[in-house]
Amino acid sequence: MDDVDSPEPTRAPRGGARRVERSGLPRWFRPVILYVLFAIAAYQMSGWLFHNLKGFLGLMFLAWLFSITVEPVVDRMERFGMRRGAAAGLVLFGLVLLVVGFLSLFGALLAEQLSQLVTALPDALSSVTQWANRTFDTNFSVDSDDLRITPDTVRELAARFTPGVLGVVTSLFEVAFQLLTMLLFAFYMSAEGPALRRTVASWFPAQQQRVISTVWEISVDKAGGYVVSRLILAAFSTVATGVFLVALDVPYWLPLALWTGVVSQFVPTLGTYLAIALPAIIAATTHPINAVWVVVFGTLYQQIENYVLHPRVTARTVAIHPAVAFGAVIIGASLFGAIGALVSVPVIAVIQSLIETFGRRYELVPEIAGSPGPDAPDANRDTGDAGDTRAPDEGSGA
């Protein structure tokens, strides 16, 4: 009788659970809401931090890029018995002295020629346009009065954009502070490079430590090698262009030579044409035939650089497709401004090297391999690198 009247122990909880599901929310609903709110808050916080620290992050990346540029010299001095901190300080001090020496020798001449060039550029554009209209029967119009820079124009621009002496001093102080900050962080990154690498690697297991070491070495080698190679090629281009402009008696040869060297090497795809256009315009103001000689010189020098200088100087760096480099500059400029445009190509060089090191390629199927295109030899080659940690059977078959 007692057994008949006693209720089943499992029915009450089941009924209670059904009542909770019908009247309330599922158990997973509240945690999901919390996770979504946390993700939204983290996204907003990261966006706020990125927006406010964008300049500082770009400055730190420039310091890292500068440190890995001088790291081979610091490593060599360390192998000769010098302490790493002293070697890094000596290298940075030597570079500062080099810049100061250049400015002391050519600073006054550069400033004078640069100011004259800015003043004469409107008349140069007008003269070149008129010559082109007479020669090719065109109808281009450039009003030099609208482009002319006069003392009144300079005073008006200064009154509009310069907030007085205090604003100028503040701007100069900010530039000097940012430069000193970059040099300070570059010194610490170069002096403590191996220790920093060991510290980062110690946070991961042994297998990941080898991967981190390989990625670090590739980044230092490729990014630093790219910057050094571009600086060397820019120096060659500047010297060659300056000598040619002096021989041709083109005015403002020093700023034009610096413009050609820097723009032709650090602006991908369009840099060569932009670099030679300005010297050609200025040369045309003296004698129109000089513009032709400048263009011919720029074309010949570009061929010499492509087939003689570039392969030797950039032997340790990666070859980046011009379209990829140009797209990287646009993206970098959109995200970080001028600093992003400057460092975007080295970043792409590092990413491409990592893909070549850890990526995997396969043999082409006969249908595709039977009709090779211009890139077919590269498609089948082994992409292993000096830092490749893959086993032999994991590489691509060639």
* 134 belongs to a structural domain: yes
The pair of three-digit structure tokens given for residue 182, joined into one six-digit string: 């970059």
pLDDT at 385 over 50: no
Flag whether the pTM goes above 0.95: no
Residues shown for the chain? 398
The pair of three-digit structure tokens given for residue 326, joined into one six-digit string: 């140009």
Q: What is the DSSP string of 205-271?
A: -HHHHHHHHHHHHHHHHHHHHHHHHHHHHHHHHHHHHHHHHHHTT-SSHHHHHHHHHHHHHHSTTTH
Chain mean pLDDT for the chain: 77
The pair of three-digit structure tokens given for residue 249, joined into one six-digit string: 């008696």
Q: What is the DSSP string of 329-391?
A: HHHHHHHHTHHHHHHHHHHHHHHHHHHHHH----PPPHHHHTS--TTHHHHHS----TT----
pLDDT at 296 over 90: yes
For residue 211, count other CB atoms closer than 10 A to its CB: 13
pLDDT at 162 over 60: no
* 363 belongs to a structural domain: no
pLDDT at 138 over 50: yes
Range of the domain at 75: 58-203
* 87 belongs to a structural domain: yes
The pair of three-digit structure tokens given for residue 190, joined into one six-digit string: 């170069």
* 321 belongs to a structural domain: no
Residues 275 and 12: their CA atoms lie apart, in Å, by 85
Report the chain's C-alpha Rg in angstroms: 31
pLDDT at 15 over 70: no
Long-range contacts, 294-297 (Cβ 8 Å, 24+):
294/244, 294/245, 294/248, 294/250, 297/241, 297/244
* 40 belongs to a structural domain: no
Confidence of residue 151 (pLDDT cuts 50, 70, 90): low
- List pLDDT tens digits, range 37-76: 999 999 999 888 888 887 788 788 888 888 887 887 888 8
More confident residue, 305 or 386: 305
Residues 232 and 229: their CA atoms lie apart, in Å, by 5
End-to-end Cα, the chain, rounded Å: 86
Using CA atoms, how far residue 87 sits from 81, 94, 112, 118, 194, in Å, is 10, 10, 37, 41, 14
pLDDT at 291 over 60: yes
- List pLDDT tens digits, range 198-234: 888 888 888 888 888 888 888 877 777 888 888 888 9
φ and ψ of 370, to 5 deg: -70, -20
The pair of three-digit structure tokens given for residue 328, joined into one six-digit string: 């990287």
* 88 belongs to a structural domain: yes
* 283 belongs to a structural domain: no
Residues 124 and 117: their CA atoms lie apart, in Å, by 9
Structurally, how many domains does the chain consist of? 1
* 387 belongs to a structural domain: no
